[in-house]
Amino acid sequence: MATSGCSPLASDVVSAPWMQGLLASNDAPSPTQLTTVAEALHPLRNHLARLDADVLLAELVLVQLQRSRKAVLQAIEPLEVVRHPMRIVPDDILALIFEFCAPWCRLDDISEASFPPLSSLNRTQAPWSLSQVCRNWRALALSLPQLWATCCVRRLDPWTDMDAVRRRIQRMLDRSSSWPRRLFIDFGQAGNVRFLQWALGVSPGWSCIRAYAGSDVLHEAFHRRPLPELRRLALWGRISHTEIDAPGLYHFKQDYRHYAHGGPEVQWDRITRYESEKSHPDCLYRLTSVKELAVKFRTEFLQEAERARTGASVVPTVLGSVSVLRITEPEDRRESSLSAIAFMFEQFAFPVLRTFVFHCSQSVRLAGIPSLPHTLENLSLSYELGMDVDAVYGLLQRASTVRALHLRGNGGSEVVRRMAANPSTLPMLYDLRVTEQWIRSWGRPLADLVDSRIKGCALRKLAIFVPSSAGEEGNKIDRILWGHIRDSGVQVTYHPNEEHKF
């Protein structure tokens, strides 16, 4: 193999003064200089030829080495596959992994978030994808009925092969065995009546149904259809004069039923959990057994209710089983309309209420609430915009039994400051939860509150939800509070990605 470098003659020629002069100009070399350059070039060219031969040989050797390496990798791959840890994972652990891939299989709810985000007809999604990996995975997936018990059919294209859709759903139902079945169908305002009728009829054992469709579709599909196993039902649409034949139904949610009378008819005295999204409240008076109630009214109804007020005292309807109440004010509420919270506490009494959650996108006065029941333990007041500090603090002064409080919204720090100045406000407070985008202003009020309650009151937990967009604000709160709480026993936690309501 040739060695690197050039001959001494060539080095001498290149470094000679006359050579440097020629390189720095465009002068013609003399015959003697040309002879000297030729004598220096000859050994250099021979050396270059030997180096080219060595490079070619090295390239041939490299190709051979790469071929050998590839052969070794091909021999290693099947051996590594055989000893992969996934092969020895017990079936019960693998089953848990499958359930994590399809988290909705363990949920029992009618909220949209409890269903698959994509259609169950999509073969690239779980559980279909899990059953297509190998025979062992397929056998295990088919042995887990919970993976197949939730069917989700989202808006289908007009050219969708409905027979293929039916076959796919029937296959899921066959694999779900006796597991409680849940159905989510979203047709929008349009819909396929025959398909929905078929879906309800092919399995009368649906335990949970959430349906989005036009009123005619819902009526024709649900009216007097026997659903003996149905426990949870959510209907979106202006469904009217429809009898729901579901004697076991206890959780009902209806959206956008704008008018009184003529809505879906269920056995109201058996409903224990009711949710209303911009629907008329006429059915609330018939919920004699409801335990958990969530309402959000349309602004138009609240305006009508305000006009209908005569000033005379109203005897409220007693909902004697409601322990959880959630009220959401409409986003477009007018100042001239009655607030939802005032309407609910004027029309109804909640003698055993334990948890009250109020959410509003505007500033709403709470002075319309005559009093809160002495059974109330958990209270959440959440404002998208600024809260009415005087009204909120006045309400807290009348909520002496509250043990857990959640505050969100501009003005909340002032409420906490007043609580710190008056320890008799919420004397039984055990758990305080704060949600705030700009937490800097809360530092001193929270520190004063903790400090004021170290000696005589029961405050033991403080949860602060600070969105990640707030940057380092949470650390500043920690530095302010630490000197006040290190000996108090108050447990402080920070939650950058979870809001702790009730």
Could you tell me the CATH number of the domain that includes residue 388?
3.80.10
Tokens of 380: 């959440």
DSSP, res 112: G
Q: Nearest Cα to 275, choosing from 257, 261, 299, 302?
A: 257
Same domain, 466 and 488: yes
Q: CA torsion 58→64→70→76, rounded to 10°?
A: -110
- Within a domain: residue 61? yes
Looking at the structure of the chain, the number of domains it has is 3
Which of 83, 113, 141 delimits the end of a domain?
83
- Tens digit of pLDDT for each residue in 195-252? 888 888 877 789 999 988 766 778 888 888 889 999 999 988 767 778 889 999 999 9
59 exposure class (CB count in 10 Å sphere: 0-12, 13-18, 19+):
exposed
pLDDT of residue 406: 92
Q: Describe the crossing of helices 412-421 and 389-397 by its angle, rounded to 10 degrees.
A: 40
- Within a domain: residue 263? no
Same domain, 78 and 195: no
Residue 452 neighbours by CB under 8 Å, 6+ apart: 420, 421, 423
Q: Is the peptide bond before 127 cis (omega within 30 degrees of 0)?
A: yes
Pairing of β 348-349 and β 317-318: parallel
Residue 27 neighbours by CB under 8 Å, 6+ apart: 21
Q: Describe the crossing of helices 412-421 and 443-452 by its angle, rounded to 10 degrees.
A: 30
pLDDT of residue 474: 47
Same domain, 420 and 391: yes
Instruction: Answer for the pair 357, 325: CB distance below 8 angstroms, yes or no.
Output: yes
Rg (CA), the chain: 38
Structural domain that includes position 192:
89-235
Same domain, 299 and 443: yes
Same domain, 59 and 138: no
pLDDT of residue 235: 87
- Within a domain: residue 278? no
Same domain, 132 and 51: no
Alpha-carbon gap, residue 308 to 491, rounded angstroms = 49
Q: What is the pTM of this model?
A: 0.78
Same domain, 151 and 78: no
DSSP, res 449: H
β partners of residue 406: 380, 433
Alpha-carbon gap, residue 401 to 427, rounded angstroms = 8
Ramachandran assignment for 271, one of left (phi > 0), alpha (psi -120 to 50 degrees), beta (any other): beta
Kindly list the distances between the CA atom of residue 417 and the CA atoms of 158, 243, 266, 447, in Å, as whole numbers in the listed order. 60, 53, 48, 9
Helix (H/G/I), strand (E/B), else coil: 181: strand
Same domain, 224 and 197: yes
Which of 83, 117, 147 delimits the end of a domain?
83
Alpha-carbon gap, residue 26 to 96, rounded angstroms = 83
Same domain, 228 and 348: no
Alpha-carbon gap, residue 164 to 354, rounded angstroms = 49
Alpha-carbon gap, residue 276 to 295, rounded angstroms = 5
Alpha-carbon gap, residue 64 to 71, rounded angstroms = 11
62 exposure class (CB count in 10 Å sphere: 0-12, 13-18, 19+):
exposed
Which residues in 278-396 belong to E strands, given as ranges? 292-296, 317-318, 324-328, 348-349, 355-360, 378-383
Tokens of 459: 């405050």
Same domain, 55 and 125: no
- Residue by residue, pLDDT tens for the chain (502 residues) are 555 555 666 777 778 888 888 888 888 888 888 888 888 888 888 888 899 999 999 999 999 999 999 999 999 988 888 888 888 889 999 999 999 999 888 888 888 888 988 888 888 888 999 999 889 899 999 999 999 999 988 877 667 777 888 888 899 989 988 889 999 988 765 556 778 888 888 777 899 999 887 667 788 888 888 899 999 999 887 677 788 899 999 999 988 655 555 678 889 999 999 998 877 788 888 899 999 999 988 877 777 777 776 666 778 889 999 999 999 888 766 665 678 888 888 889 999 999 999 988 766 666 566 678 889 999 998 888 778 888 888 888 888 899 999 988 888 888 888 888 888 888 888 898 888 766 666 777 777 777 776 655 677 888 878 766 555 544 455 565 666 666 667 787 776 655 666 6
Tokens of 19: 């050579």
Same domain, 79 and 98: no
DSSP, res 456: S
Which of 41, 60, 83 delimits the end of a domain?
83
Alpha-carbon gap, residue 351 to 342, rounded angstroms = 17
Same domain, 20 and 96: no
9-35: string of b/e by CB count within 10 Å (b at 16+)? ebeebeeeeebeebeeeeeeeeeeeee
- Within a domain: residue 273? no
- Within a domain: residue 265? no
- Within a domain: residue 57? yes
- Within a domain: residue 261? no
- Within a domain: residue 78? yes
